Amino acid sequence: MAGRLVIATHNKGKLVEMADLLAPYGVACVAAGELGLAEPAETADSFAGNAALKARAAADASGLPALADDSGLAVDALGGRPGIHSARWAETGGPDGATVRDFRRAMERVNRELGDSPDRRAHFVCALCLAWPDGRLRCFEGRVDGTLVWPPRGGRGFGYDPMFLPDGYDQTFGEMDPAAKHAISHRAQAFRKLVAEMGWKALPGAEPRSTVLEREPR
């Protein structure tokens, strides 16, 4: 298992997006779910705090470097809500009593709470934390601003993407081609900061290799 990076998420959408971002750097990835790692409770009061909790838990449990994300939607007219509780707004009971996430329900709640407010400004925030089993930790944040639309548009992306129209664009994140979204998203911005500090170089067409994971952060 030496040389692999754990993507510490159980969210399939985030997993795909993070793997796509890592692909050009030849980083061999494994999902937390593939290793049977539990998802820790998100008890911090910030995106960076929750990302750090998840990254540290995965690194400690797997003995591998681990990358975790915590992200969410902050709506100006709602005082920054749902914020770190963005995923919780989507939680509902499943048919077997398990908790499932229904983001259509979450988007409806955002729209309902906005009511007739003319202020539809919002932003996505992403905190990425990279943790090593020896205790080292690096965190990076990205943000993208935009407005909320209703009804939601597009079937791509995940979470609140279909109702978020980034500034300067006429397509929501739910309508955008994944490559176009990766170029401007909050997660991509945080990832670029991570890449810059780590000194990773894009390796077009290269096979995954372990050396990029063993490099000390600058």
* Residues designated as active site: 70
Measured CA to CA in angstroms, residue 207 lies from 92, 103, 133 at distances of 41, 36, 24
The Cα angle at residue 139 between residues 169 and 46, in degrees rounded to 5: 80
Count CA atoms within 13 Å of residue 145 on its CB side: 4
Q: How many CB atoms lie within 10 A of CB 67?
A: 27
Question: Cα–Cα distance between 126 and 189 in angstroms, integer?
Answer: 8
AA letter at 155:
G
Name the 3-class secondary structure at 99: strand
Residue 49: its H or E element:
helix 47-62
AA letter at 76:
D
CB 86 within 8 Å of CB 110: no
Question: Cα–Cα distance between 155 and 162 in angstroms, integer?
Answer: 7
